[in-house]
Structure 1
Amino acid sequence: MNKFLRVLTCAAALLCAPAAFAESCSTAAEMDAATKQALQSAARSYFQYVSQGNVQGITMSAIADIAANAQGVQGLLQEHQANLSGASATPRNTYLFEAGGTATLERAEFFCGVFNSPAKVGFTLNGLPPGKYGLVIMDVTGSKVPYFYSFLLKQEGTMWKVAGLFPRSRQVLGKNAQYYWQQARDFKARGQRFNAWFHYLVAKELAAPLPFMSTVALDSFYDEIQSSMPPDFPAERPMNLPAFNGKTYQVTQLFLVPNEKDRNLDLVVKYSTPDISNPGQTFLENKEVMKALVTKYPELKEPFTNLVARAVAPNGQDFGSMLPIKDVK
């Protein structure tokens, strides 16, 4: 269950399926007032712990798996502490999930609201033990940047215990999902497939409070994103990148990171290498990868500030180098 500590462990999905499942969902309007009040009150209390960086408060109020992972809770709270310190939160949406049966559900799907209506919403949680759960999505005020914060709560006795924490910034470098979506469409219209794809991914990260949430509008947006992925993007398999030194590198990852200093985005490329024990040689290899990447995809020089190449050894250790992308030649 500790997988719910991290935002990206659950896949978003909304499928057209019959309603007669072991899983059921009630919206705030459908659940009884006492349950709604209990869920929202618990979420408010737990957010106070979050804004204070109170790891013990969260672990003492959590299900066993999360309570046993204080280090993971601490890492998650610290990651967002600078933005959320002293902030407060107000419930935006509240849902009640019931997962029946006696065995853990490999894929639990909850469909909420009127079926086939524009207001319907779906949630998919993987590896969910049976039980009664509440999901409270909150609007954060007083934070340094706009945030959603959501809690998955599990009923144990008379308590609603923390079963998942989901912080979600609503901006990257002061820009929201709509901005990055429009940027992606503009790049796509100009035939810049990779620039479009990267900006679509940023927009996707900001578009919804939860990565495992789906609505009619989000489904349409996700379809647009998926259809825009470059066929040679290293998503499920490495990308072969021929370099000027005669080698072909196996690129395993390409992703963006915010550069707060320059108020822009940096591009990171990771590639496999058998050995990083010689820093000087690895630096030269990193430069070869950078040069090969911007030669193959010159469009990358337009929107990004820096290019970071990270050589990854078989044991997972890596060696990174960074250059201003305009200087890579």
Structure 2
Amino acid sequence: MKRWGLFAAAASLLGTGAMAGAQQCTTQSKMQTADRTALLRSATGIASAVQANDSNAVRQQTLPDVAQNFAGIANAIASAAPHLTGATFVPDTLWILDARASGPNAKPADTQFFCNLNGGSQSTVFSFQALPPGRYGLAVLDAPKAQPPYQLTLLLREESAGTWQLGGFFPRVTTAAGHDGIWYWKAARTDAAKRQNWNAWLNYSEAERLLRPAAFVSSSHLEQLQEEQGKSAPAALSGGLGQGTPLIVKAKDGTEYRVTALAPDDSLGGDRIDIAMHYSADTIADPVAARARNQRAAAALLAAYPELRDDVHGVWVYAEPASGPPYVSEEPVSSLR
């Protein structure tokens, strides 16, 4: 069961990691008219096929090496299409990322594109691992009238003059509990000013999730958000969470729960977001006993950090054994005492 409220399908040519080189970036305002027209036409054509839930049409407009492993993109199309019924796509931004290399032996390489915005101090950075040489286009299309509002980010590669094919597809919602990323950023600043560091951390995390078009995209604004979040982060999270660095919370009966991950969650689409809590646990065959343990774990988290009760609807709890599937339940705050 997946309850993270965010999905993306990345083409096989994409990844993120340490970068070896930088290439040329062209913003929408600096593009040749023919390039801008062709890129937007290809992107909106693919978006229309997504809206129609027509995976075959999208696949026909996809790079051959990506189309061979199309299941992830097909699943993302099926998930996004019902929300896009009747929606109109509005171009948010377009980029051309030129990673063409000279010589017959050019190979995929870790690549960054540093894109200055209209000569100002703000910039956007795109980071790829093992990117094949080529001329790429990135199109970000908004569907503000979708329910909930959606954004489609498409990475395309120019296969011939004016012909762009899909290489990566990243659909996502742009609001949570009826609010956009800027709203959560402002809420986080308010929480930080009140020294409600856990609520600030949660709202900064949700703001970043809603404002980042795809995992390989960074920007001056996102770096500012991360800097603010770092300054106000709870001490318990300063070293990060993981199997080797868990957050330990204790229940009323003295039982300790080793929390390995925390994140905002908007799966239910209610009037408040949830928090997703992952913790290490042994397998329990009895589902009633497993559910009761999840309830105690969620109650222990909120008892340790009670300010979270003010901001979240509930806790998605993932009891994760060393092997086998997790036991997952959603525990409303109103039921946790």
TM beyond 0.5: yes
Structure 2 counterpart SS, 1:117: coil
- The letter of the residue matching 2:272 is N
Structure 2 counterpart SS, 1:81: helix
Counting only pairs closer than 5 Å after superposition, residues 287-306 of structure 1 correspond to structure 2 as 287-306=295-314
- The answer to whether the 8 A contact 2:156-2:164 is kept is yes
- The letter of the residue matching 2:164 is W
Task: Label 1:300 to 1:91 Cα distance change in 2 as closer, same or farther (>3 A).
Answer: closer
Q: Please name the residue that 2:205 is paired with.
A: 201
Greater Cα offset, 116-125 or 73-82: 116-125
- Structure 1 position 58, deviation (Å): 1.2
Task: Find 1:245's aligned residue among 244, 253, 266.
Answer: 253
Number of positions where the alignment pairs a residue of Structure 1 with one of Structure 2 = 320
Does structure 1 residue 111 correspond to structure 2 residue 119? Answer: no
Q: Please name the residue that 1:94 is paired with.
A: 94
- The answer to whether the 8 A contact 2:143-2:151 is kept is yes
- The answer to whether the 8 A contact 1:197-1:230 is kept is yes
- The letter of the residue matching 1:197 is W
- The answer to whether the 8 A contact 2:175-2:210 is kept is yes
Structure 1 counterpart SS, 2:322: coil
- Structure 1 position 261, deviation (Å): 6.4
- Structure 1 position 115, deviation (Å): 8.5
Greater Cα offset, 178-187 or 21-30: 21-30
Task: Find 1:129's aligned residue among 126, 129, 132.
Answer: 132
Does structure 1 residue 145 correspond to structure 2 residue 148? Answer: yes
Give the unaligned 5+ runs of structure 2. Answer: 1-7
Q: Please name the residue that 1:52 is paired with.
A: 52
Task: Label 1:133 to 1:121 Cα distance change in 2 as closer, same or farther (>3 A).
Answer: same
Q: Please name the residue that 1:311 is paired with.
A: 319
Task: Label 1:111 to 1:263 Cα distance change in 2 as closer, same or farther (>3 A).
Answer: same
Task: Label 1:311 to 1:209 Cα distance change in 2 as closer, same or farther (>3 A).
Answer: closer
- Structure 1 position 5, deviation (Å): 4.8
Query: Using the alignment, how far apart are the partners of 1:93 and 1:48 within structure 2?
Result: 17
- The answer to whether the 8 A contact 1:52-1:86 is kept is no
Query: Using the alignment, how far apart are the partners of 1:224 and 1:67 within structure 2?
Result: 40
Does structure 1 residue 34 correspond to structure 2 residue 34? Answer: yes
Greater Cα offset, 263-272 or 135-144: 135-144
- The answer to whether the 8 A contact 2:26-2:115 is kept is yes
Q: Please name the residue that 1:83 is paired with.
A: 83
Does structure 1 residue 174 correspond to structure 2 residue 178? Answer: yes
- The answer to whether the 8 A contact 1:44-1:90 is kept is no
Q: Please name the residue that 1:235 is paired with.
A: 241
Counting only pairs closer than 5 Å after superposition, residues 212-227 of structure 1 correspond to structure 2 as 212-227=216-231
Greater Cα offset, 251-260 or 289-298: 251-260
- The answer to whether the 8 A contact 2:246-2:258 is kept is yes
- The letter of the residue matching 1:176 is D
Q: Please name the residue that 2:4 is paired with.
A: none
Task: Label 1:240 to 1:25 Cα distance change in 2 as closer, same or farther (>3 A).
Answer: same
- Structure 1 position 284, deviation (Å): 3.0
Structure 1 counterpart SS, 2:164: strand
Does structure 1 residue 162 correspond to structure 2 residue 166? Answer: yes
- Structure 1 position 271, deviation (Å): 0.9
Query: Using the alignment, how far apart are the partners of 2:147 and 2:172 within structure 1?
Result: 13
Task: Label 1:250 to 1:114 Cα distance change in 2 as closer, same or farther (>3 A).
Answer: closer
Query: Using the alignment, how far apart are the partners of 2:65 and 2:249 within structure 1?
Result: 42
- Structure 1 position 100, deviation (Å): 4.0
- Structure 1 position 185, deviation (Å): 1.8
How big is the alpha-carbon RMSD for the aligned residues of Structure 1 and Structure 2? 2.9
- Structure 1 position 277, deviation (Å): 1.9
- The letter of the residue matching 2:210 is L
- The answer to whether the 8 A contact 1:276-1:318 is kept is no
Task: Label 1:288 to 1:86 Cα distance change in 2 as closer, same or farther (>3 A).
Answer: same
Does structure 1 residue 4 correspond to structure 2 residue 10? Answer: yes
- The answer to whether the 8 A contact 1:99-1:132 is kept is yes
- The letter of the residue matching 1:300 is L
Query: Using the alignment, how far apart are the partners of 2:231 and 2:324 within structure 1?
Result: 32
| TM value normalised by structure 2 | 0.83
- Structure 1 position 10, deviation (Å): 4.6
Task: Find 2:288's aligned residue among 280, 293, 301.
Answer: 280
Counting only pairs closer than 5 Å after superposition, residues 266-277 of structure 1 correspond to structure 2 as 266-277=274-285
- The letter of the residue matching 1:226 is G
- The letter of the residue matching 2:251 is A
| TM value normalised by structure 1 | 0.85
Structure 1 residues 63-117: Cα deviation after superposition (integer angstroms, max 9, x where no partner)? 23431233212211122222212323233322211224422223x2112246962
- The letter of the residue matching 1:309 is V
- Structure 1 position 141, deviation (Å): 4.9
